């Protein structure tokens, strides 16, 4: 079973986001070993840019040498669910790399984190709240894993 790592900024505050994320994490966990790292939000009194910088530093401290850093960013590459499944398969075939998905906090990812990323993916050209982006990413990764296994979840 291959692994997928996630680095998230902040806890999910709303119960409906926690429930949805837990639902898709459980389903995705049938196909992949999941590792979740939660970075504490930067202090609220800081200006937005300073928050992103502090959170970015904390993110990069959690990235291991085998982690393939994948940032979720509205300017990243958009993919269909089938394209994501093919990409997930390629990542699974890399024995020395673990896909490591990163979603920043309310003010996004620092330029330092974006520069360190080997891959940037956009869930949409629209800006999504980070809590919703986390849930959508988990669902799409579950969908991608289901496509690879021929599950009827994705109606192709």
Q: What is the CATH number of the domain that holds 109?
A: 3.40.1280.10
The mean pLDDT value for 47-57 works out to 95
Whether residue 156 is contained in a domain is answered as no
pLDDT in tens, 110-149: 999 999 999 999 999 888 898 999 999 999 999 999 999 9
Q: Which two tokens stand for residue 116?
A: 């360190």
Which residue, among 38, 58, 40, has the nearest Cα to 112 in the 3D structure? Answer: 58
The reply to whether 41 falls in a domain is yes
State the total domains in the chain. 1
Owning domain of residue 128: 3-148
In a domain, 33, yes or no: yes
- Write down the pTM of the prediction: 0.94
User: 153 in a domain, yes or no?
Assistant: no
105: in domain: yes
Whether 18 contacts 38, CB under 8 Å = no
Residue 155 within a domain: no
Which residues have a Cβ under 8 Å from the Cβ of 143 and sit 6 or more positions away?
81, 84, 85, 153, 154
Q: SS3 for 19-84, per residue?
A: HHHHHHHHHHCCCCEEEEEEECCCCCCCCHHHHHHHHHHHHHHCCCCCEEEEEEEEEEEECCHHHH
Residue 67 lies in a domain: yes
């Amino acid at each position: 079973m291959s692994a997928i790592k996630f680095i998230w900024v902040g806890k999910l505050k709303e119960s409906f986001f926690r429930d949805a994320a837990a639902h898709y994490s459980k389903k995705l966990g049938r196909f992949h070993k999941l590792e979740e790292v939660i970075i504490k939000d930067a202090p609220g009194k800081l200006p937005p840019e300073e928050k992103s910088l502090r959170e970015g530093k904390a993110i990069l401290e959690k990235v291991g040498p085998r982690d393939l850093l994948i940032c979720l960013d509205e300017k990243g590459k958009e993919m269909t669910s089938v394209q994501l499944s093919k990409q997930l398969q390629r990542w699974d075939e890399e024995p020395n790399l673990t896909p490591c998905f990163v979603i920043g906090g309310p003010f996004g990812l620092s330029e330092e984190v974006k520069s360190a990323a080997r891959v940037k993916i956009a869930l949409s050209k629209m800006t999504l709240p980070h809590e919703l982006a986390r849930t959508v990413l988990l669902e799409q990764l579950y969908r991608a894993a289901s496509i690879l296994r021929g599950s009827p979840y994705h109606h192709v």
